[in-house]
Amino acid sequence: MLKRFLVSVADVIAMQGNDIVFTAKTLLNSSIAVDLQSDEISGGQGNQLQAVYFHSPRLNLTMEDTQFRLEYLALNAGSQITQSGDIWTQESVVLSGTTGTLVGTPIAVGDQEAVYAEYNGVNYTLPVTGSTFSVSNTNIPANSTLCVSYMNTNAAARTLVIPSNIIPSRVRLFLKAKLYGDTTGQGDVGEIQIEIPIAQLTGAQEISMTADGHSTTPLNAMAIAFTEDSVAGCSQGGIYAKVVELIYNTNWYNGVTGITVEWGNFDLVEGSTAKLRVWAIRGNTSFLVDNENLTFTSANTAVASVGTNTGVVSALTEGTSLLTVKITAVPTIETQATVTVNPAG
């Protein structure tokens, strides 16, 4: 039997609405932790354990990217990245006498428009008009070369404002990780995909910069319960995540030994319709089959018709008809059910 191992880190895609916020393919780690609390219910002689009540389930996601990602900061801060930004700019300027001309145009720092020049290890504040500044300090000789710093608006920069009142963003996350096989020469045999419909960012962000290394970017989130509109109902609880396993070069019907119609034989009233639900049997388990993968036929189309690949039965007139269902790709696997059409009223 093939052994499967979940290896390395996942690739991650984050979405907000229909837009991809980021794609992460350089993660150092990506982990999911499910936590569940419980209370023991005890009673009777000797205070015996009668039951265990499970509650407060949590699904937490932790990622760490080897890259610096401004998008991560934006999501944690619940803020938007805007194009253009005010940045410190440095350039070497050769004075023409006591006058210097800058490539960029300085903007005010606080209430003062100035440039900051370094000469022989000493910093000087110099007044500026437009892109031109003048040197009146006698410690700076004419025609010197200065290292000048100033604030400048750069259209190519991106700006993120971290507000004091942070409300972290929510995203939809998709994780894709590799499955590895133990047979020689197999390598990657499949993948695991995990979808978290609502991931609430925690807002916690730490960037550690050291002289002998590089900074990684963490991103932590917790799953919020999500209920799909199509399955919402009185007893339907929310979900945190969906985990899908895909084994390469296999088909859904591999290992299937039989199929069966959920209702078995059933009745319909003239003029009504019903959609068949067909289950496949594999070993000791069963699963619902998409009708697009099946072929449906009716032996008596005057009594009841059925959509070839939809399984929608239409009751036409009083009588019975034998319905046959086959796996389209493996027609030797089939099942049958009889529909009885009763008169309306």
- pLDDT tens per residue across span 249-272: 889 999 999 999 998 999 999 999
Residues 11 and 44 in one domain: yes
In a domain? residue 253: no
Q: Are 179 and 6 in contact (CB under 8 A)?
A: yes
Range of the domain at 273: 258-342
Residues 153 and 286 in one domain: no
Residue 1 has pLDDT above 60, yes or no: no
With bands split at pLDDT 50, 70 and 90, how would you rate the model's confidence at 146?
Answer: very high
Name the pLDDT band for 156 (thresholds 50, 70, 90).
Answer: very high
Domain boundary among 220, 243, 266: 243
Least confident of 12-16, 75-79, 98-102, 180-184: 180-184
Residue 66 has pLDDT above 80, yes or no: yes
- Into how many domains does the chain fold? 3
Residue 84 pLDDT class (50, 70, 90 cuts): very high
277 plus 322 within the same structural domain: yes
* 209 domain residue, yes or no: yes
Q: What is the pLDDT of residue 249?
A: 86
Find the CATH number of the domain harbouring 320.
Answer: 2.60.40.1080
For residue 248, tell me if it sits in a domain.
no
Is it the case that residue 90 has pLDDT exceeding 90? yes
| Measured distance CA(14)–CA(199) in Å, rounded | 9
Question: Which of 219, 243, 267 corresponds to the end of one domain?
Answer: 243
Note whether 141 and 173 are same-domain residues: no
Q: Which of 178, 312, 199 is nearest to 245 (CA)?
A: 178
Does 175 share its domain with 321? no
- What pLDDT does 263 receive? 86
Q: Do 67 and 204 have their domain in common?
A: yes
Q: What is the mean pLDDT of residues 119-146?
A: 90
Q: Is residue 249 part of a domain?
A: no
* 99-101 and 132-134 beta bridge pairing: antiparallel
Q: Indicate whether 185 and 319 sit together in one domain.
A: no
pLDDT at 182: 75
In degrees rounded to 5, what are phi and psi of residue 75?
-65, -45
Q: Final residue of a domain: which of 243, 274, 304?
A: 243
- 124 located within any domain: yes
pLDDT band for position 50 (50/70/90)? very high
Pairing mode, if any, of strands 242-247 and 266-269?
Answer: unpaired
Most confident of 2-16, 178-192, 222-236, 268-282: 268-282
Domain assignment present for 153: yes
Measured at the CA of 295, the angle between CA 294 and CA 298, to 5 degrees, comes to 135
Residue 252 lies in a domain: no
* Claim to verify: residue 265 and residue 337 sit in the same structural domain: yes
Q: Are the CB atoms for 197 and 121 separated by under 8 Å?
A: no
Same domain for 279 and 262:
yes
Its pTM stands at 0.74
135 and 170 together in one domain? no
User: Using CA atoms, how far apart are residues 41 and 44, in angstroms rounded to an integer?
Assistant: 10
Considering the chain, what is the average pLDDT of its residues? Answer: 92
pLDDT value at residue 63 = 94
Assess whether 207 and 267 both reside in one domain.
Answer: no
Looking at residue 330, its pLDDT comes to 96
Higher confidence at residue 258 or residue 136?
258
Same domain? For 122 and 154 the reply is yes
**Least confident span in 78-82, 137-141, 163-167:** 137-141
- pLDDT for the residue numbered 114: 84
Q: Please indicate, yes or no, if residue 293 is contained in any of the structural domains.
A: yes
Report the pLDDT value the prediction gives residue 234, as an integer from 0 to 100: 61
Outline where the chain has alpha helix (H). 70-77
Tokens of 162: 């971290």
Q: What would the two tokens of residue 303 be?
A: 């009594």
Residues 221-250: pLDDT tens digits? 999 999 876 555 565 678 999 999 998 888
Q: Which of 162, 159, 190, 158 is nearest to 177 (CA)?
A: 190
